[in-house]
Amino acid sequence: MVVGTQSVGGGSSTLYLMRRELVEKRRWLTEREFLEDWAFSKISLGINLIAMSALITHRLAGMRGIVVGLVAMLVPAAFVTALMTAGYEVVRDEPLVRSALAGAGPVTAGMAVGLAYAFARQSVRRGKRALAEWSYWAVVIATGLFASVTPTVVILVGIAVGFLFLRGEPSRASADPGS
């Protein structure tokens, strides 16, 4: 419910709050489990964060966990959104409100940078493998920005790079369920 009531700005801020709550505070997930669930949810249809919530809560508490987790994430957010919309209608032309909304973008950007830093910090701990991953992402970003390469090619190259660098890496599924 913490994430459902505190996330502002959508994806990056919600993902940051989920990570902070589940990995850092409660330690229900390892960093790797969180990243694997995030990566898997990115290929799902629909809203990725809802898919991620379902993945995480299913692992933590089965089918009942999915129901409770999704209700805890969606209902408070919908309620807060409805209240804010009604309240905004009344005060939308006030200078203080306009100033507050002008600050929401930089706050969201800051949360995105915080999330990227947290992921990068975890990656750096892995040494040479992290250097390879960062190099790959730099190439992907540069390719996306400056070349006309189709996403299919980038995905296929990503599969090849992942095969080369992650071969022999134990997956979460093969880990001890108690860990």
Closest C-alpha among 63, 46, 60, 78 to residue 18: 60
pLDDT digits (tens, 9 = 90+) for 143-171: 777 777 777 787 787 778 777 766 665 55
- Say yes or no to pLDDT of 108 above 70: yes
Confirm whether pTM is higher than 0.85: no
List all residues 6 or more positions away from 140 whose beta carbon is below 8 Å from its beta carbon.
154, 158
Q: Please, what is the average pLDDT of the chain?
A: 79
Contacts of 59 (CB under 8 A, 6+ apart): 33, 37, 65
Whether residue 128 contacts residue 135, with contact meaning beta carbons closer than 8 Å, is answered with no
